[in-house]
Structure 1
Amino acid sequence: MLLQGGAFSACNLAIIENRRLPGWICNAAPSGRLGRAHSSRVMSVATGEQMSKPHAPTHQPSLANRLRLGSLADDGLSYKEKFIVRCYEVGINKTATVETIANLLQEIGCNHAQSVGFSTDGFATTLSMRQLHLIWVTARMHIEIYKYPAWSDVIEIETWCQSEGRIGTRRDWILKNYANGEVIGRATSKWVMMNQDTRRLQKVTDDVRDEVLFYCPKELRLAFPEKNNASLKKIAKLDEAAAYSRAGLVPRRSDLDMNQHVNNVAYIGWVLESMPQEIIDSHELQTITLDYKRECQHDDIVDSLTSPESAMTESVSELQGSNGSPTSANSENDCLQFLHLLRLSSDGSEINRCRTEWRKKPAKR
């Protein structure tokens, strides 16, 4: 479980820790117009007056920031970045795997947090969180892929965060084909705070919420604005009599993140391990929803269970508004649904509950 957050420069961290609202956003942008627009707004919030001169940065942007194909939006409340699909990120169909998509969502989330100045030592932790030894962990992830990008395709991803009140925060994403602007996917996630020492969940404090809200859209913006959309659907627990199973899965060292628990993307691979091969051969993953129930440690042994979902669900209505529209429409006869359960082999404790939808594979590209 890993935060979609990221790192900061030293000057950014110093400003936050002095409790001064940052006016150095221009550091993370390729053009000074982003920094100027944001800094004037920040100064107004901080002092109630229009400052004649924004805070001057004390450090130049890092080499990584200069080379990334990403920047904050003009209002500073969302972040866009372009990615090239590499050969090692595709599967047998020469299209990106779902793990690749999930990793890119995580990467841009980290880069977004870095661009606004959150800490490198705990994945987008704020000053208050670091003082209380708090970290973000994934509670729920929902990804819909309408068209998988192929090797060498360029995709543009936009991401933004919002508060979930005392519960935590959420992060949303829109994925587009950069060549033609086609929406090829959407995703949303929920995050909760955990005490790094006790490993117990904790409510978001007023200080933390205020620090995070500063970088959130002032009006609610959702990647899935439709009523009763699939991202909201409750996942039923799979019973013991699963149709398919794969026992004895062990976390690799490379599955662990800097918070010493299994990265959330690794759970996707474990879920797919118990999918029947005939479905993998004939279908591709269209939608995946994961509810993270507990963290998994390096010495845990995991069982993966899968069964077809008993009832067909209504297809999600077309996306309305400025975010675009899904590019793929399938009949119910072409779509298959499955329920999944990841549990500890030792005592059967539930680690992750998952639901997937699969569509017929398109003709090879």
Structure 2
Amino acid sequence: MLSKGSPVAPAIYNASAKDATCALTQSRSIGSVSIRRKYNVFLCNLSSRKVSPLLAVATGEQPSGLASLHEAEKEKSLGNRLRLGSLTEDGLSYKEKFIIRCYEVGINKTATIETIANLLQEVGGNHAQSVGFSTDGFATTTTMRKLHLIWVTARMHIEVYRYPAWSDVIEIETWVQGDGRIGTRRDWILKDYANGEVIGRATSKWVMMNEDTRRLQKVSDDVREEYLVFCPRTLRLAFPEENNNSLKKIAKLEDPAEYSRLGLVPRRSDLDMNKHVNNVTYIGWALESIPPEIIDTHELQAITLDYRRECQRDDIVDSLTSREPLEDAEVIEFTGCNGSVPSKKDEQDLSRFMHLLRSSGNGLEINRCRTEWRKKPAKR
């Protein structure tokens, strides 16, 4: 994130990718020195009429002066200085590099889908902090905090073309765009840092909720103005393909389901700062009812989640799963540099499932999910 304050940054900047990987195994995230220092200052409160350098770039106004820069530098936390991710040159997206830890890999000796989802969430939060949004309530703006509004995830779609292994270094880029009156859209691109290969993509939709009433609320013009200054000027999509899987609707899974895991109970550690179950937890719950033979022979290629209702600490959840016939599912071919084009054999090796998370007590729908699985690759 705010990378220039780190004493190790100059050495990393001049080192090779291999040397950087070795030198930084004691740091959770790695990155290079940003050459545009002014992009890493906090955005001033809009009501103060001061203009940050980043806002000045977007609007053509004059920054508030070196004194404000100095004060913003002093306000940086230790975590911000060590995180080492940074805004891109135009200030409209954010990149951060991570080394995969041993506790983040699963039985395949590669990062789990939960690890990938957690890193996406981490990068999104760090991006918000880098432009001055609050850590209270996860990236809330000044107006949102005044009105007790928070962001909640409405939909998440992740595709992984190759899972990184323990000690691999990946780079994740993220950016935000307005999505009409109801919320925002955040996208991600995941790359292998060693060779620049795109190994995954993701997109999500976020809506505003009143923290007190727990009701959804439309995005006001005041809130929109606070974040649009940091959004790309033209539409940029992680999934630009027409009719891609990220847009596909998920039908409700009806009983009886082929597979089920009943009575899942949220742990205290599953709760996030907004006091509801973290969205990554739903992924683990959905996968709990996948048949063992799929887990043993396949790996997750894509997952889509529609969040229908928030889950609280005292809720008990049932996980239901059924196969989705391939002939009923749309087959999307990825073209261009972002994705890989599947062969006919690859399509034959795919398995698709529909998932439903519901409340055990009243049967209310909590989450709809679709997963797509491919045959495991040969061992490295």
Give the TM-score category using the shorter length: 0.7 to 0.9
1:289 Cα deviation after fit: 0.0
Does 2:153 match 1:123?
A: no
1:276-326 deviation per Cα after TM superposition (whole angstroms, max 9, x unaligned):
001100000000000000000000000000000134334322243xx6333
Q: 1:8 matched to which residue of 2?
A: none
1:327 Cα deviation after fit: 7.7
Map 1:57-76 to 2 at 5 A.
Answer: 57-58=70-71, 59-60=73-74, 61-76=76-91
Aligned Cα root-mean-square deviation (Å): 1.8
1:151 Cα deviation after fit: 0.3
* Counterpart-to-counterpart distance in 2, 1:276 and 1:253: 27
Q: 2:331 matched to which residue of 1?
A: 315
1:154-192 deviation per Cα after TM superposition (whole angstroms, max 9, x unaligned):
000000000001010010000000000000000000000
Q: Is the 8 A contact 1:342 1:351 kept in 2?
A: yes
* Counterpart-to-counterpart distance in 2, 1:145 and 1:131: 38
1:92 Cα deviation after fit: 1.3
Letter of the 2:277 counterpart:
V
Map 1:247-258 to 2 at 5 A.
Answer: 247-258=262-273
Does 2:195 match 1:180?
A: yes
Partner of residue 223 from structure 1, selected from 233, 238, 241: 238
1:17 Cα deviation after fit: 5.0
1:95 Cα deviation after fit: 0.2
* Counterpart-to-counterpart distance in 1, 2:51 and 2:122: 25
Letter of the 2:376 counterpart:
K
Cα distance change, pair 39–171 in 1 and its aligned pair in 2 (3 A):
closer
Structure 1, unaligned runs of 5 or more: 1-10, 24-37
Q: Is the 8 A contact 2:333 2:341 kept in 1?
A: no
Partner of residue 86 from structure 1, selected from 78, 81, 101: 101
1:220-247 deviation per Cα after TM superposition (whole angstroms, max 9, x unaligned):
0000000000000000110011000000
1:39 Cα deviation after fit: 5.7
1:63 Cα deviation after fit: 1.9
Letter of the 2:57 counterpart:
R
Q: Is the 8 A contact 2:43 2:52 kept in 1?
A: no
* Counterpart-to-counterpart distance in 1, 2:194 and 2:176: 26
Q: Is the 8 A contact 1:182 1:327 kept in 2?
A: no
* Counterpart-to-counterpart distance in 2, 1:39 and 1:307: 49
1:65 Cα deviation after fit: 1.9
Cα distance change, pair 200–180 in 1 and its aligned pair in 2 (3 A):
same
* Counterpart-to-counterpart distance in 1, 2:350 and 2:49: 52
Letter of the 1:325 counterpart:
G
Does 2:35 match 1:22?
A: no
Q: Is the 8 A contact 2:160 2:199 kept in 1?
A: yes
**Percentage of identical aligned residues:** 71
* Counterpart-to-counterpart distance in 2, 1:154 and 1:362: 20
Q: Is the 8 A contact 1:169 1:190 kept in 2?
A: yes
Q: 1:347 matched to which residue of 2?
A: 362
Map 1:163-312 to 2 at 5 A.
Answer: 163-312=178-327
Does 2:28 match 1:12?
A: no
Does 2:176 match 1:146?
A: no
1:75-123 deviation per Cα after TM superposition (whole angstroms, max 9, x unaligned):
1100000000000000112100000000000000010001000012111
1:258 Cα deviation after fit: 1.0
Cα distance change, pair 12–69 in 1 and its aligned pair in 2 (3 A):
closer
Letter of the 2:334 counterpart:
E
181-190 or 323-332, which moves further after superposition? 323-332
Letter of the 2:182 counterpart:
I
Q: Is the 8 A contact 1:21 1:42 kept in 2?
A: no
Cα distance change, pair 19–297 in 1 and its aligned pair in 2 (3 A):
farther
Q: Is the 8 A contact 1:160 1:172 kept in 2?
A: yes
Letter of the 1:246 counterpart:
R
Q: 1:4 matched to which residue of 2?
A: none
